A and B are shown apart, each in its own frame.
Chain A
Amino acid sequence: MNALKSLLHFVVLPVLLIALWWFTTRDGANFFVPQPGPLVDAFVEVWLGEGFRNDVVPSVARLFAALAISIALGISLGVLIGSVEWVRSLLSPMLEFVRAVPSTIIIPVLLLVIGINDTMKVTLIVLGCIWPVLLNTVKGVASIDGVQVDTGRVYGLSGLVRLRYLVLPAAAPQIFAGIRQSLAVGLVLMVTSEMFASTDGIGYATINFQNRIAIPEMWSGIVLLGLIGVAMSVLFQIVQSRVLGWYVGLKESAK
């Protein structure tokens, strides 16, 4: 009974919205908004055929490579900067400035320095995504609880053992908050760089459809980007609930 109720809660509004969409476009009257049927057809035709190999795979591969680099680099540098106070003082104003540069604005620069290729896009995404991870790691590492640190010292934690059992888990909630921001920024930069200058990718294809006024195809690109966003968010939440299960429990027990 309860399961049925939550299923209803889950589907009713989306179904209503889709019905409304279908109803308002049933005459095909609106130039900008396609009908559900043609949109689904366009989606299947554009993205599940050749487009999958030519555009979807390159986009997603670049995004994931860049995210992996950002997360690995951001955490390692963040641990380093967060652990050593003078390094933190030395670099924080610089980092604050670099982070404040709106990351989309460096697309033309990278285009100039690197050219239109995969390296440019991966570099761009890394340059945008690394800051949330890095700065959150710094914050998390620098603010580890004093008693936890003292306990670690008393029981002789040092080096890699300290990193593995104290520093990383203690900073993990902050690090995950950073990764979450990075995922969103990464997707934005992937799309923007492909729309601005590219020879392949979902963003490139979608802006091309717009230029050719191929409305259902253009919308199918938007839907695909949305699906990728949703998939990333779901994946993130699964990983987060695995790794940070203890944190959720801790917060709830404190209530």
Chain B
Amino acid sequence: MSVSQHDLALAQVQPRIARPRIATRAKGPVVLGALGILGFLLTWELFSRLGPVDPHYLPPPSLVLPQFFTNFTYTDFWVAIAQTMRAWAIGLTVAVASAVVVGVVIGSSDFLRRATHSTIEFLRPIPAVALIPVAALLYGPELQAELLIIVYACFWLVLVQVLYGVADVDNVARDTALVMQMNFLQRVRHLVFPTLLPYLMTGVRLAAVVALILAVGVELIVGTPGLGQKVALAQINDANVQMYSLILASGVLGMAVNGVMTVIERKSLFWHESVRGGKS
């Protein structure tokens, strides 16, 4: 007991030693980065006040930033965010889930892989936004219209990554699994999935960004409620300060999506690496 407690104590001490190092090393870039943002805001302000563009069309950050923070007190701002993110989340989940299932099935069979290759290579590069007219026709300004576009685009993105991942399964590991008489599901769980994970994560991260772009795009064109539709309305109503503040908000939202995806990717890959490290 005492030994394990001692180990635990050691384990807890180590990161404490490591942390200040990282902090001191990162201090310089953080200061520079903050300077970069400040410089950008200053340039924007000066450009807006003195530049060639009418400040009505490009309001300075001294007007946009207060509006940006005021928005946080409005319910309809949060509702718009929630609507966009709902389409994003549902679309992404459906796309990822179906792409994983389809990808693992196709990837596990040489025949299916070859037979579907040409079709996948043809359907994949079709821009999902080309289907906006169909979505508009089928559903009108409803959630489903957004979902159709998001799912179509993200499905191919993730599917291709899953296929890469399944193809990357080590031959020796595959033979080992066969010798151990694993059935299909066991192979998927213990062999295919761990190899697949880094590829899948890359696909999901890309898809998360694309899904947000498409959600906003559909809202702009079809008028589905959400952040994109709010921006379009602000533009029509000549509420330019509001429009820029919403775009700022969309940037923050995009950063949040990136951040969450990076954390999920790192966590799951860390798990993956540690499992591999433990095996070897």
Q: Which of A4-58 contact B (CB under 8 A)?
A: 6, 9-14, 17, 32
Contacting residues of chain A (209-255) with chain B, CB-CB under 8 angstroms:
209-210, 213, 218-219, 221-222, 225-226, 229-230, 232-233
A132 to B: closest C-beta gap in Å: 10
Contact with B along A155-181 (1 / 0, CB 8 A): 000000000000000000000000001
| Complex contact B255–A96 (CB within 8 A) | yes
Give A13 Cβ to nearest chain B Cβ, in Å: 5
B114, CB-defined interface residue at 8 Å: yes
The bracket for how many chain A residues form the interface is 35 or more
| Interface flag for A89 (CB, 8 Å) | yes
- B35 contacts across to A, CB distance below 8 A: 90
- Determine if B126 and A101 form an interchain contact, defined as CB atoms under 8 angstroms apart: no
Q: Does B33 lie within 8 Å of A89, measured CB to CB? A: yes
Which residues of chain B are near A230, meaning CB under 8 Å? Answer: 121-122, 125-126
Query: Which residues from chain A contact B79 at a C-beta distance below 8 Å?
Result: none
Evaluate contact between A92 and B33: CB separation under 8 angstroms.
yes
Q: Which residue of A lies closest to B127 (CB)?
A: A187
Q: Does A103 count as interface, using CB distance less than 8 angstroms?
A: yes
Pairwise interchain contact A109-B244, C-beta atoms closer than 8 A = yes
Residue of A nearest to B215 (CB): A102
- Inter-chain contacts of A111 with B (CB < 8 A): 235
**Contact of A72 with B by CB under 8 A:** no
**Chain B interface mostly:** helix
Question: Are B129's CB and A188's CB within 8 A?
Answer: yes
Q: Is the interface of A mostly helix, strand, loop or mixed?
A: helix
Question: How long is the Cα–Cα vector from A230 to B123 in the complex, in angstroms?
Answer: 8
- Interface residue? A134 (CB, 8 A): no
CB distance from B141 to the nearest CB of A (A): 13
Whether B130 pairs with A221 at a CB distance below 8 angstroms is: yes
Known: A108-B235, A188-B213, A229-B125. A11 touches B244 (CB 8 A): no
Contact of B132 among A106, A207, A232 (CB under 8 A): A207
Bound Cα distance from A6 to B110, whole angstroms? 12
Chain B residues 33 to 60 lying within 8 A of chain A, measured CB to CB, are 33-37, 39-40, 53, 57-58
Chain B residues within 8 Å of A185, by CB: 213
A93 proximity list for chain B (CB < 8 A): 33-34, 36-37
> Chain B: which residue is nearest A181 at the CB level?
B206
Chain B neighbourhood of A32, CB < 8 A: 134, 137-138
Query: On chain B, which size bracket covers the interface?
Result: 35 or more
Shortest distance between the CB of B119 and any CB in chain A (Å): 5
- B83 interfacial contact with A, CB 8 Å: no
A200-213 interface bits toward B, Cβ cutoff 8 Å, 1 = contact, 0 = none? 00010011011001
CB distance from B134 to the nearest CB of A (A): 7
Which residues of chain B are within 8 angstroms of A17 by Cβ–Cβ distance?
Answer: 119
Q: Known contacts A109-B243, A210-B137, A225-B126; is A104 also within 8 Å of B114 by CB?
A: no
**Cα-based distance from A196 to B228 in the complex (angstroms):** 12
B221 touches A195 (CB 8 A): yes
Segment at the interface with A among B2-10, B184-192, B246-254, B264-272: B246-254
A104/B258 in contact, CB under 8 A: no
Residues of B within 8 Å of A11, CB to CB, are: 118
Q: Can you list 17 A-B contacts (CB < 8 A)?
A: A93-B33, A93-B37, A94-B37, A100-B258, A101-B250, A103-B213, A104-B213, A104-B216, A105-B231, A111-B235, A184-B127, A185-B213, A192-B221, A195-B132, A222-B134, A229-B125, A230-B122
A-B pairs with the 6 shortest C-beta distances?
A100-B254, A210-B133, A229-B125, A226-B126, A104-B217, A225-B130
Q: Which residues of A contact B (CB under 8 A)?
A: 6, 9-14, 17, 32, 86, 89-94, 96-109, 111-113, 181, 184-185, 187-188, 191-192, 195-196, 203, 206-207, 209-210, 213, 218-219, 221-222, 225-226, 229-230, 232-233
Besides A109-B244, A230-B125, A232-B125, 9 other A-B contacts (C-beta < 8 A)? A6-B114, A93-B37, A207-B221, A218-B134, A221-B130, A222-B133, A225-B126, A226-B123, A226-B130
